[in-house]
Structures are given as structure tokens and as C-alpha cells.
Structure 1
């Protein structure tokens, strides 16, 4: 069940972030951007949804409205729940949210060292638009026309 995140979900989201992004620290040479976010503030601003499975938060997604496209800012699934199709559920939700909001496209970015994510997004129809270095992180920007 997907639902808007509340302040009660902060701890669960932070546990998922730690588990999902810690393996990339050695590859990137520092903590990935999602590990540096203030999730309490993001939840209060809106756009954060959690995937609640049997009363346990097993994934989350952050969607931010932009002028020309919905930004899929972050998506993570708890490692113990990976392989169950929850990432697909979250991606489908993001694309439906974009359509419902009247956007013709959805955008995202990921670290260039997260090659598995780039391949996953490419399989879902996202195409690379450009690369940039921001906040010391080398990012790959992608977009999907809906």
C-alpha cells in the first residue's frame, strides 16, 4: 500500500537509506546524496510516499514538482524486500503521478557510479539527457516521455 509519509516514518526511511546506499560509499568515495538528506523536512514539505507492506515500511519515493517535468528525486527499497517487484510499483506510481499532474515527462538523476540504477532506468524507457557534477557528486540525468 502506497501512502503519504508522515513524521512517524522518518526512522524507517533512514534505515532503508542507510541499507540501500551504504554499499555505494566505497565506489563513490563518499556518502551518496540521499544519505545526507533531512527526511523529516522532506516529509513535511510533501511529495514523500512510503510503500507500507503489512504495517512495515519497505520502500519510499520522493517526487518533486518542477516546471517542465516531475522529478523522481529518490527511490529506495529495503534490501530484504528487493526482488519482490516493489521498485516497479514505486516507478509505476511515479509515472502515474506525473501523468495525473499533467506532466508529459518524468526526470531523475543518479550517481554515475550507480551503474545498476542507470541500467534499470534505461530498461524502463528513461534516456540519458546529460551529466553534471553537483555538490561534488557526478550525476547522470535521465528523462522519460510519458
Structure 2
């Protein structure tokens, strides 16, 4: 069983560690630091936490009812969900490399869509680097459709959207 809970500022070190682990291997492939890692240097995660936009996923194999990164519990995944005017932006979804292949990514994607519905959005939007081919394939399998491409902050991004209607 896993537990998804809203992140707290005390979780910031664990969030930054997870993001570096999840995205670090892309640096050589894309030739620059991926956006989620840049968000660490820009202190965006702290602002996202304060706004209530970050959720952490914990593998609760021992059945405890609560988890606390401050007590050594390490998140296996995270979501950054930012409400926009007409859609919920899935700004970041990440799973720790040691936890990949165990269904946590799917659980996070389902949680993001459930949150979008709860907030009464009829779509969810995300973007990824065009050279992160495996991510593009995953998102397409989940029903996301490419809407456009753009170069932003020196990053070549592919935008995708999924209708929830």
C-alpha cells in the first residue's frame, strides 16, 4: 500500500534528492539541466510546497497509517500540480529510480487525474523534453495527445493534454 500526502517544507531536502535522482541521467542526453532540476536552484519547490501544489508518494509496505520524511521515511515519488485557468498543469511527476517498475508512476498519474477532476477541470496538461522519448511514450499510452512544441528557457518541450470529459 502507498500513501500520497501533501508535502511540507520539512520535506524539501527529500524532494530535491528525489528530483536529482529521477532526472540526473537526462543531463547528458539533452545536453543541459532538465527543468525539474533547475527548479531546485530557482527555489521553486519551496514556493510550490507553500502553495499546496506538491504531493509525495510513500511506499507504506509496513502498514503504518502515516509517513514522515523527517523521521527517515523517503518518498518514492512526487507530483507537482498547478491549477491554470482552463486546465490542471502536471508540472512534474517523478519516481525514484530505486522504485521504478513497481506501479508508482501509474498511481501518481491516476492521482493527478483524480485531482484534476476534483478541481473540476476537464483536462490535464503536461510537458516533457523532446529527447525524453520514454516519457513521451508513457504519456501517450495514458491517453495524452501532443498539442504543440516550444523552446522555453533553452529547453525543447513537447506539450501534451488529456481530456477528462
| Equivalent position SS for 1:57 | coil
CA contact (8 A) 1:25 1:31 kept: yes
In the alignment, the residues of structure 1 paired with residue 134 and residue 38 of structure 2 have an alpha-carbon distance, to the nearest angstrom, of 21
What is the root-mean-square deviation in Å for CA atoms of aligned residues? 0.8
Q: 1:52 aligns with which of 51, 58, 76?
A: 58
| Equivalent position SS for 1:56 | coil
Shift of residue 44 of structure 1? 1.1
In the alignment, the residues of structure 1 paired with residue 22 and residue 74 of structure 2 have an alpha-carbon distance, to the nearest angstrom, of 16
Structure with bigger gyration radius: 2
TM-score, normalised relative to structure 2: 0.86
Match of 1:80 in 2: 98
**Residue 25 (1) aligns with residue 27 (2):** yes
**Residue 134 (1) aligns with residue 162 (2):** no
Shift of residue 96 of structure 1? 0.5
In the alignment, the residues of structure 2 paired with residue 8 and residue 78 of structure 1 have an alpha-carbon distance, to the nearest angstrom, of 19
Q: Which runs of 5+ in 2 are unaligned?
A: 61-72
Cα distance per residue 1:33-89 (max 9 Å; x no partner): 100112222211221000022333111000000111100000101110011100011
Aligned length: 146
TM-score, normalised relative to structure 1: 0.97
Match of 2:9 in 1: 7
Cα distance per residue 1:91-114 (max 9 Å; x no partner): 000000001111110000001010
Q: Which runs of 5+ in 1 are unaligned?
A: none
In the alignment, the residues of structure 2 paired with residue 85 and residue 66 of structure 1 have an alpha-carbon distance, to the nearest angstrom, of 28
